[in-house]
Chain A
Amino acid sequence: MISVAIELKKVRKTYGTEAVQTVALDDVDLTIDNGKFVVVLGPSGSGKSTLLNVMSGLDHLDEGKITIDDYAIDSMSDKALTQFRREHLGFIFQQYNLLQTLTVKENVEIGARLVEDALDSEKVLDDVGLSDHLNKYPFQLSGGEQQRVSIARALVKRPKILFCDEPTGAVDEETAKSVLEILQNLNKKYETTIVLITHNASIAKLAHSIVKMNSGKIVGVETNKPQEARKISWND
């Protein structure tokens, strides 16, 4: 049985003053199923990041309803949202956002301390292929390796949903591939729901489903055939 992980209903978000308004999300309806790998695809400025921010509770929405696992995200207090993020959500951003003064292992432990039943940091780092770099500092790693540290940091606390905003935006193709493969494997291994944002159509192919955005609107949702969903090819 497939349960619903995230549900958005008529979500609206605008930026700016009343005079100059940008509608970043325009009556968005979306359902994301549990355990799925979903890619949000769209050109720059189409509202992808905004979508991710509001559905993960990082930002407030103007109108509409968002529920994650029966929690009404839109009406939760800041404190409750924080607690919710802590227990259920993981994040990966384009800039890795590692703490420079901590080692690889320590960076992951920053994530692990958030929950009581966290995975073993070293084991997760092994999963992402960094077992040889435990005591290195972020500046001693390549971009892809740093991104893998941030993946490990997000995964170590076993989030139900992992939000990734352009996780491969700052690395080269080969590295991007390996990062994405790791995400794929984790999605399988831990059944983590993954919502990944990208403007790169090639990446979209590895998802179970693709949400296409343009000008703050969802312009289409595609479901990949299972056999295609496991292959990535770079052709753009």
Chain B
Amino acid sequence: MFKRHVVRTFARQWISVILLSFLLIISGFIYTIMAVSVRTLKDESEAYFETTNQEDFSVHLMRYVTDDDQAFDVACDFEVGMLLSTLKENDETCHQVLLDARLAALSEAEFSRDLEYRVHKDGYLDYGNTRHRTRVFRDNERINTSRIETGSYPESGEVAIGRLYAELNDLTLDDDIELDGQVYRISGYVLLPDYNLPIFEHMYMFDSAYQTIALVSHEDFDALSWQENRVLSGIVDETMDEDVLEETVMRFGFVERFVLTEHNLRSGAIYAELDGGQATGLFLSIMLAVIGLVIVGIMVSKTMSEERRTLGVFKALGVTRHEMVVPYLIGIALFSMISLFVGYVLGLLAAPWMQDLYLRFYLLPRGTINIQWVDLAVAVFVPTVIVVCLTAFNLYRMVKPPAVELIEPQVMKQKPRRIKWLKKLLKPFDLLQVLQGSMLIRQWGKVLIYVIGIFLALYMVFLSLGMRNLFQHTMQGYYGMHTYESVVYCEVPTQCDAAEHDKGIEIQVLVQGERSTLLALDPDNNTHPLPDLNNGDLRGKLSEGLIISRSFKDLTGLDVGDRVDIMAYGYTFTETIVGITDLYPGAYIFYDREAVSLMITQEVDYFNRLYTEERMETSGGMIVHRETMLEQVESIEGIYQTMIYLMVGGSFAMAVIVIYLLMLLTVESKYYEMSLFKVLGYTNKEISKVLLGGYFKLNVVIFISSIPLAIYSFGVLTRTMLDWFGFFFPLRMEHWDIVLAFVVFGLVAYVGSLHARHKIKKRSLQEALKIYQV
């Protein structure tokens, strides 16, 4: 008999039940898809990094001779400021001596277990009419060794390229491609542990459709005419402290930059990405599960408390507590388990897809989906057990009093002290406001759940709106503002013809300890406008001091007139900020090129970038066209946007459901009071004002307080990304978003309360007053 009653109870609230079930399915789904795909990738990657001996850090070295180099006790005499490439041309032996001496000096510092140079050459890969950028590697012996995923190791005349690149460009094994005018046969697909993102010279460009890593035999590598580049890769013992390590390395004057793998976008981003993905998945699913299950609990408790009297009668008749409660608990357990299990199964089915989505960006081995029982437990059983226990506690407590007491009206047994306080507080206010306040206080437990639920839901709305803006801000904004057609990444100035073009020096620096990119430009350059906040131009001020980007100002709080310490290339100098430029998302600072050049080479014509106003096809450095960048950006944006819209849509839907259900439940729980006021003769409008007005005010307060919190957390997120990877991730909220969120929130809350009131209307007024509950 009770069984049928429970089924009917659920059936009567079918809309809520369906929405709740949806919430739980999504919760199980998100948890499972993230847990399974991330574990699969992680396990596979860890094994892969282990066998290929992934670097723990990399060190970029100066491209010219430094004071420290000169001090080496070796047979060669080095001229400070001379470019290493010039040195190599003039005296190949001494060049090698210098490289060895640097490696030896770092080795002697005893911070690492092993060091090895990582050598590569940047150029182009051609096939048909297509030309893409490529970074060709000379395979290492110990650190960052290659893994051939498919096919065979490249012999002479053969090349191994990235699988993803091949797939996205319809290339297959045995196809021919050209490197440096020479035909190579694709022998296999290669993975390199230090390039799980194909990031070469530009941070934001890592779409595997447009660039690839490549591996050729040692002889073929040496024969490539392209400029050779090298960084140092190192392995440390696990006990090494990161800060000590960085300090030790940076003490050498010939060290340009030190990057820990976990802070390195090209090799370590995957760690943060996987952890982040897992954490986000866990957070979202727990949040949804908690909200969903709390709502289930409230619904059941509400139903039961409405039936207090009936239960009392049953109890008087001799029905035991278990007989009354257990059917409800079984109902809840079944409902929660079935919903979560459906989510779990969907998650398992979608996990390979999720892995592939990761592998659309990351060059990592694909693993076989690794299913473990623990997922089933975490996704399905744990939440079910928790909700059943909580509801059981609540329900048993509810039916514990003797039968007579259950039949009697449930009234306040004593005046809670908080009501006394509130009354004092609200003394100057109107009676109805006192009532509003005291009712909220009386049900503070429910109100708390309501506040938390609405708050989380609103945060999801803001997060989804913030993410929506993400890529527009970064990429297109960035590339849309330059006026150059091509940029030459010129590592050896003497090999690039700088005539008629704008020179620039781009280096990584620390400004007051904050990582940022210094772009040194000439005041008379034509390609980099530096508009200030009033649309004036700041280029002329480059020789007067430092100009910083608005994003950097927002991140650091620095402003015009501040004097800051800038650390780069072993030098530290102090300069005054003279302007804020409104363009360039990210941590950028701008300074006079000649000054930087003098600092680095003791001459005035050093540069490592050339910006051309007309499209440039050949140069001594790697050329990237603006058009290509935009193309790439759009392609990546496409994928990202799909993902983001999925997340936006998903969390948006979740938020809507949560707000709707909470509103529905809350208003419905006011059923008694609403009926009473109605019988007394209060109009619907007055009733809404008195009984729901408190929630309305609460909603406004939650909404308003969620805005600064969202903004603050976005700031933290942005700063963390910048701090870790130097990657600008402008999660931002526009005025528009606030309006949109407000409209959505208001609308959903309104429809929810309307639905509830409609339900209330259908029940007879006088019946309501029979409910033994006040």
Contact = CB atoms under 8 A, between A and B. Distances in A.
B412 A102 contact: no
Interface in B380-439: 409, 411-415, 419, 431-432, 434-435, 438-439
Nearest to B413: A139
Nearest to B677: A110
Interface in B607-654: none
B758 interface: no
Contacts of B708: none
A101 B766 contact: no
B435 A102 contact: yes
Contact of B769 (A82, A97, A138): A97
A89 to B, nearest CB: 7
A91 B774 contact: no
Contacts of A89: 681
B766 A99 contact: no
B292 to A, nearest CB: 30
Contact of A53 (B435, B678, B766): B766
Interface string A112-125: 01100000000000
Interface string A92-110: 0101111111100010011
Contacts of B411: 100, 138-139
A137 B682 CA distance: 22
Contacts of A79: 683-684
A165 interface: yes
A58 B678 CA distance: 9
B439 A101 contact: yes
Interface string A51-62: 001000011000
Contacts of A35: none
B673 A99 contact: yes
Given A58-B766, A99-B435, A102-B438, A85 B774 contact: no
A98 B773 CA distance: 10
A153 B412 CA distance: 20
Contact of A111 (B435, B438, B680): B680
B419 A101 contact: yes
Given A82-B684, A97-B769, A101-B419, A110 B673 contact: no
B479 interface: no
A59 B765 contact: yes
Contact of A106 (B409, B431, B766): B431
Interface in B587-601: none
Contacts of A114: 680-682
A90 to B, nearest CB: 9
Interface in B749-774: 764-766, 769-770, 772, 774
Given A58-B766, A85-B679, A97-B769, A102 B415 contact: no
Interface string B667-683: 00000010010111111
Contacts of B439: 101
A111 B682 CA distance: 9
Interface in B265-301: none
Interface in B300-334: none
Contact of A83 (B414, B441, B683, B772): B683
A161 B411 CA distance: 29
Contacts of A93: 766, 769-770
Contact of A85 (B412, B681, B769): B681
Query: For A79, A82, A87, which residue has the most chain B Cβ atoms within 10 angstroms?
Result: A82
B774 A86 contact: no
B5 interface: no
Contacts of A82: 678, 681-684
A49 B764 CA distance: 12
A138 B679 CA distance: 20
Nearest to B442: A101
A95 B411 CA distance: 11
Given A101-B435, A102-B438, A109-B431, A139 B414 contact: yes
Interface in A24-61: 49, 53, 58-59
Interface in A126-156: 137-140, 153
B681 A86 contact: yes
A57 to B, nearest CB: 9
Contacts of B676: 97, 99
Given A95-B770, A100-B442, A139-B411, A58 B765 contact: yes
Contacts of B431: 102, 106, 109-110, 113
A59 B764 contact: yes
A44 to B, nearest CB: 13
A163 B678 CA distance: 15
Contacts of A138: 411-412, 774
A153 B409 CA distance: 19
Contacts of A58: 679, 764-766
A106 B682 CA distance: 16
A86 B682 CA distance: 7
Nearest to B419: A101
A98 B672 CA distance: 11
A134 to B, nearest CB: 14
A140 B765 CA distance: 27
A111 B679 CA distance: 11
Contacts of A153: 680
Given A49-B766, A139-B412, A139-B413, A99 B682 contact: no
A127 to B, nearest CB: 19
Interface centre among B419, B684, B765 (most CB of A within 10 A): B765
Contacts of B415: 137, 139-140
A106 B434 CA distance: 10
Contacts of B683: 79, 82-83, 86
Contacts of B432: 113
Nearest to A112: B431
B774 A99 contact: yes
Contacts of B414: 139
Residue among A59, A96, A102 facing the most chain B CB atoms (10 A cut-off)? A102
Nearest to A114: B681
Contacts of B413: 139
B684 A101 contact: no
A34 B770 CA distance: 29
A227 to B, nearest CB: 35
Contacts of A98: 774
Nearest to B764: A59
Contact of A59 (B412, B766, B774): B766
B25 to A, nearest CB: 34
Contacts of A157: 681
Contacts of B435: 99, 101-102, 106, 110
Nearest to B678: A82
A89 B766 CA distance: 15
Of B409, B412, B415, B770, most buried by chain A (CB within 10 Å of CB) is: B409
Contacts of A91: 679-680
A147 to B, nearest CB: 12
Contacts of A53: 764-766
A98 B413 CA distance: 14
Contacts of A137: 412, 415
A85 B240 CA distance: 81
A138 B415 CA distance: 10
A153 B679 CA distance: 12
Interface string B703-730: 0000000000000000000000000000
Contacts of B412: 100-101, 137-139
Nearest to A60: B764
Contacts of A140: 415
A153 B765 CA distance: 18
A208 B438 CA distance: 43
Nearest to B687: A82
Given A59-B766, A95-B772, A114-B680, 7 more contacts: A85-B680, A86-B682, A91-B680, A93-B769, A101-B435, A106-B435, A139-B415
6 contacts: A83-B683, A95-B772, A98-B774, A110-B431, A138-B774, A139-B412
Q: Top 3 closest A-B pairs, CB basis?
A: A86-B681, A101-B438, A85-B681
